[in-house]
């Protein structure tokens, strides 16, 4: 054999082996099921980026997923399945050699969405299947029932960040943010529910992921007066520590930490606000936009004021990273019709604060402090028609830059009403002056 032929033969076999390995390189390494009350996420962990097709079948309802050039290394009967939407996950006869056919037997016809995710610590390549049952009549009925009288509860939506497939930040000792913030959120919900005139709703109550858009939608569905998103901060170095509160910025964040938050969050624009007006009237487009802008501005002012009250109380139980609310363009804060605050309870990337965040007593102190701040704000500025608004006259301490018209607009009362309640002869007020705000 000549040298030329030998080189050609060797090259041929190398290419053939490479082609064979490429066609059989992908492995299904594990399957994880994350069940939420209204949806389920199934995650297929693969050794390489998958090529796939899918289709549905009926009688019985099934979702079929074909993953090309893939071998199964998972005992599917042993997959932990706590979903109400999935009977079981199994393999079936493939349409072609080398294709792995996965069948998800469903309990009912369900909307599905499939997509791939690249490697992101702590996970590798993933094929994700989202099954959504949130549009069923049963799911739509699972909302807070508001009283029709004038003594309704103030509804506080509590959002435990991350969850399920998304662990959030991971502490030096391996603590997952999603677990810490769920524990704090549940304690906060208990405090809210134990307060006469207040009621809590949670965007998630277990270890599952809720889409960022859905978090605000759940708050809106339950007619929430406030949305609190509970998180644990992280930075690229272990030194930063302390709690902070974030409100919506209409532009990009002006701090490194804010930019880091924006970078790690999945951006999703929420138009939000005055949805019924948009759907049920023939008003001109410019008027609709004006209504949205007005409601967004009002929500942003309220968010900032409530965040200040929360930080005041958090400062009594933990170190504050920032004593004033910070601003960033975060998707979970973008509901125009609901005042929304993202609370960072501490830096999980700081070894000392990671230990604190795992401590049950500290978790309770954080929940108590957030609760006190929320209650104090709503005692001073109760929404019209709530039990809080019926309890007593509201008291307001005049701050720098405030006028009677600004104060009246904040509480939804008239300037004349404030003047009458306080025996004022003019519209002039002074900083530090205590005013009685009449009930609406």
The domain locations on the chain are 23-137, 148-380, 392-437
* pTM given for the model: 0.74
CB contact burial 377-391 (16+ within 10 A = b; e otherwise): bbebbbbebbbbbee
Q: If you search the block for the tokens 């306080």, which residue do you land on?
A: 422
Q: If you search the block for the tokens 């990009």, which residue do you land on?
A: 252
Tell me the backbone φ, ψ of residue 23, rounded to 5 degrees.
-80, -15
Class of domain 392-437 as given by CATH: alpha beta
pLDDT for the residue 268: 26
Compute how many other C-beta atoms are within 10 angstroms of the C-beta atom of residue 77.
9
**Residues 290, 276: Cα–Cα separation, whole Å:** 15
Compute how many other C-beta atoms are within 10 angstroms of the C-beta atom of residue 314.
27
Q: What is the CATH number of domain 23-137?
A: 2.60.40.3500
pLDDT for the residue 253: 42
**Residues 109, 89: Cα–Cα separation, whole Å:** 16
The angle subtended at Cα 275 by Cα 252 and Cα 296, nearest 5°, is: 35
Sheet of 154-160: strand order equals: 198-202, 154-160, 226-233, 340-347, 244-248, 326-328
Q: If you search the block for the tokens 């790690």, which residue do you land on?
A: 264
The Cα-based distances of 68 to 30, 96, 97, 221, 338 in angstroms read 16, 9, 9, 41, 45
Contact 381, 266 (CB under 8 A): no
**Residues 375, 160: Cα–Cα separation, whole Å:** 20
pLDDT for the residue 5: 52
Query: Which two structure tokens, joined as six digits, stand for 399?
Result: 């701050």
Q: Alpha-carbon torsion 56, 58, 62, 64, what sign? A: negative
Measuring CA to CA, which residue among 223, 100, 214, 205 is closest to residue 163?
205
Quickly list H helices, 202-350.
212-221, 256-264, 275-280, 285-314
Q: What is the CATH number of domain 148-380?
A: 3.40.630.40
Q: If you search the block for the tokens 């030096």, which residue do you land on?
A: 172
The Cα-based distances of 247 to 91, 188, 344, 387, 410 in angstroms read 47, 19, 11, 27, 18
Tell me the backbone φ, ψ of residue 21, rounded to 5 degrees.
-65, -40
**Residues 261, 163: Cα–Cα separation, whole Å:** 17
Query: Which two structure tokens, joined as six digits, stand for 59?
Result: 């009688």
Q: If you search the block for the tokens 């393999």, which residue do you land on?
A: 91
Task: Give the pLDDT of the chain (440 residues) as one tens digit per residue.
Answer: 554 554 445 554 545 444 444 455 899 999 999 999 888 999 999 999 999 999 999 999 999 999 999 999 999 999 999 999 999 999 999 999 999 999 999 999 999 999 998 888 778 999 999 998 875 544 454 555 555 456 899 999 999 999 988 888 999 999 999 999 999 999 999 999 999 999 999 999 999 988 887 888 899 899 999 999 999 989 889 999 999 999 987 664 445 555 555 545 432 222 222 233 333 344 444 444 444 555 667 778 899 999 999 999 999 999 999 999 998 877 777 777 789 999 999 999 999 999 999 999 999 999 999 999 999 999 888 888 898 887 766 778 898 889 999 888 887 788 988 888 888 989 999 999 989 887 65
């Amino acid at each position: 054999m000549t040298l030329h032929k030998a080189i050609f033969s060797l090259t041929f076999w190398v290419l053939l082996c490479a082609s064979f390995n490429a066609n059989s390189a992908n492995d299904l390494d594990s399957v994880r099921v994350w069940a939420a009350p209204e949806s389920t996420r199934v995650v297929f962990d693969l050794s390489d980026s998958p090529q796939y097709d899918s289709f549905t079948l009926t009688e019985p309802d099934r979702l079929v997923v074909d993953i090309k050039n893939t071998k199964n290394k998972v005992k599917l009967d042993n997959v932990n399945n706590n979903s109400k939407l999935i009977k079981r996950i199994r393999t079936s006869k493939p349409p072609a050699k080398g294709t792995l056919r996965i069948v998800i037997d469903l309990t009912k016809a369900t909307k599905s969405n499939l997509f791939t995710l690249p490697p992101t610590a702590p996970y590798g390549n993933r094929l994700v299947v989202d099954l959504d049952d949130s549009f069923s009549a049963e799911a739509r009925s699972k909302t807070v029932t508001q009283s029709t009288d004038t003594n309704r509860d103030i509804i506080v939506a509590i959002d435990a960040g991350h969850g399920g497939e998304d662990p959030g930040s991971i502490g030096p000792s391996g603590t997952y943010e999603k677990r810490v913030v769920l524990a704090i959120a549940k304690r906060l919900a208990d405090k809210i529910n134990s307060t006469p005139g207040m009621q809590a709703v949670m965007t998630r109550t277990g270890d599952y992921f809720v889409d960022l858009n859905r978090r605000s939608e759940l708050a809106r569905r339950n007619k929430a007066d406030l949305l609190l998103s509970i998180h644990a901060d992280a930075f690229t170095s272990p030194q930063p520590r302390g709690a902070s509160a974030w409100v919506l910025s209409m532009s990009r964040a002006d701090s490194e930490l804010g930019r880091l938050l924006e970078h790690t969050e999945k951006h999703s624009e929420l138009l939000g606000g005055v949805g019924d007006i948009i759907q049920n009237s023939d008003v001109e487009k410019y008027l609709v936009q004006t209504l949205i802008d007005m409601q967004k501005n009002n929500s942003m002012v309220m968010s900032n004021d409530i965040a200040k009250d929360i930080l005041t109380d958090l400062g009594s139980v933990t170190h504050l990273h920032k004593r004033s609310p910070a601003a960033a363009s975060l998707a979970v804060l973008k509901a125009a019709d609901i005042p929304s605050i993202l609370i960072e309870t501490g830096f999980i990337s700081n070894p000392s604060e990671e230990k604190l965040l795992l401590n049950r007593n500290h978790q309770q102190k954080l929940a108590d402090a957030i609760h006190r701040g929320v209650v104090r704000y709503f005692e001073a500025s109760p929404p019209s028609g709530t039990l809080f608004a019926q309890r007593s006259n509201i008291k307001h301490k005049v701050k720098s830059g405030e006028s009677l018209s600004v104060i009246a607009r904040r509480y939804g009362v008239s300037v004349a009403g404030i003047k009458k309640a306080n025996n004022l002869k003019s519209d002039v007020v002074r900083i530090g002056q205590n005013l009685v705000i009449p009930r609406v």
